[in-house]
Structure 1
Amino acid sequence: MEKVKEFLEVDKEEAERVSRLPVPPHRPGFECSFYEDFALRGIRVDRVEPGFVSCTFKVPPRLTDKSGNLATGAIANLVDEVGGAVVHVEGLPMNVSVDMSISFLGTAKPNDELEITSKVLGKRGGYKGTIVLVRNRETGELIAEGRHSLFGRQASKM
């Protein structure tokens, strides 16, 4: 238990760095929140087809853990965002994540370029399932595989 407590503790320098981050107010629906801007800055959409999205993401140093690897929380965020983007319907509210399962299979370092692909596995009513693969673009190594379940309004059939 002490090791966990020690791992989760933030030292004075880290706390000071976080307290200096500028957090401007935002207008929901009109601009990115601090969280979206911080976590998704640098993601580039390469290809969009019905039921498929492909993105590129260069790992920024700000999203690494104490070992210098892309943080697992950042990977989970990418799975959530790209898995949600593939089922989003313009004009409808974003879908809500119901369940996510992620297998962390490798690591990524700062400046590694990642390829993130998402594909719709199926839909039933307002429920959708996606798979998200995160690969090192240069080596082809699979960094993570995520299964993402979402729920949201359906587009009108009229």
Structure 2
Amino acid sequence: MRGNAIFVAPKRSLAQNLMDPEAVRRSLSEPAVDSLAALPARLIEAVVLNSIRLGVIEHGRVLYSFIVTPRLVSPGCVLLGGVITTLVDVVGSIALSTCGLLTTGVSLDINISYLDVAMIGEEIEIEGKVLHVREPITVISVKLRKKATGKLIAEGRHTKYLPASSKL
């Protein structure tokens, strides 16, 4: 038994169910109780951004820090690449928002080089810096470093499209 769901043994074999188009359709259209569809919207951002702290905010630059917690690591106890990707996306957008634009645009490209690992308990600094702002394209750099040593963990480049300003 899982949660409130009760396991009921199938009446047909797995092979029979895989060959039954109706069974396949049901399995794809009816989410299971513990599926990703049952999770709250924007869960990743909430989990990743819950513990970061703002240190510096300037025109075109932000600096955050956080301590790597067990919920942000892989089974090998290192910071997940998806967490780093989320931080590059969100911190890059926050850095761009300090430039006084009406919008932070939409992502065209996020490129990340993973250079080292971060372990549970390590404090990490995340610096977002706007490199280029000229409609319609902006470029932001986001670097993650170990606070104790300054060693670079990952470096991301975030390219965004800014829609043209309305003349109305």
TM bin, normalised by shorter chain, reads 0.7 to 0.9
User: In structure 1, the residue corresponding to 2:121 is in which secondary structure?
Assistant: coil
Paired residues for 1:9-158 under 5 Å: 23=39, 33-88=42-97, 92-153=102-163
Under a length normalisation based on structure 1, what TM-score does the superposition of the two structures give? Answer: 0.73
Whole-Å Cα distance in 1 between the matches of residues 60 and 167 of structure 2?
18
Specify every segment of 5 or more residues in structure 2 that has no aligned partner in the other structure, as ranges.
1-33
Query: 1:70 aligns to what SS in structure 2?
Result: coil
Unmatched runs of 5 consecutive residues or more in structure 1? 1-17, 26-32
Q: What is the TM-score of this pair, normalised by structure 2?
A: 0.69
1:81-114 CA distance string (max 9 Å, x none): 1111111267844421110111100000112110
Q: 1:110 to 1:34 in 2, by over 3 A?
A: same
Contact 2:78 2:118 in 1 (8 A): yes
Supply the distance in 1 between the matched residues of 2:121 and 2:146 (Cα, whole angstroms).
11
Q: Secondary structure at the match of 1:133?
A: strand
SS in 2 for 1:65: coil
> Match of 1:87, SS?
helix
Residue deviations 1:29-80, cap 9 Å, x none?
Answer: xxxx433211211011111111111111111111111211001111111111
- Compute the displacement of 1:118 (Å): 1.1
Q: What secondary structure does 2:97 align onto? A: coil
Percent sequence identity is 38
Paired residues of 1:88 and 1:95 also in contact (CA < 8 A):
no
Shift in alpha-carbon separation, 1:91–1:131, aligned structure 2, 3 A: closer
Distance 2:155 2:40 in 1: 34
Deviation, 1:121, is 0.8
- In 2, Cα distance between equivalents of 1:61 and 1:76: 17
CA contact (8 A) 1:63 1:71 kept: yes
CA distance in structure 1 between the aligned counterparts of 2:147 and 2:167, rounded to whole angstroms: 39
Distance 1:115 1:155, change over 3 A: farther
Equivalents in 2 of 1:132, 1:38: separation in Å?
19
How many positions carry a matched residue from both structures? 133
Offset, 1:156: 7.5
Cα 1:137/1:155, change in 2 over 3 Å:
farther
Distance in 2 of aligned mates of 1:50 and 1:155: 21
Higher Cα Rg: structure 1 or 2?
Answer: 2
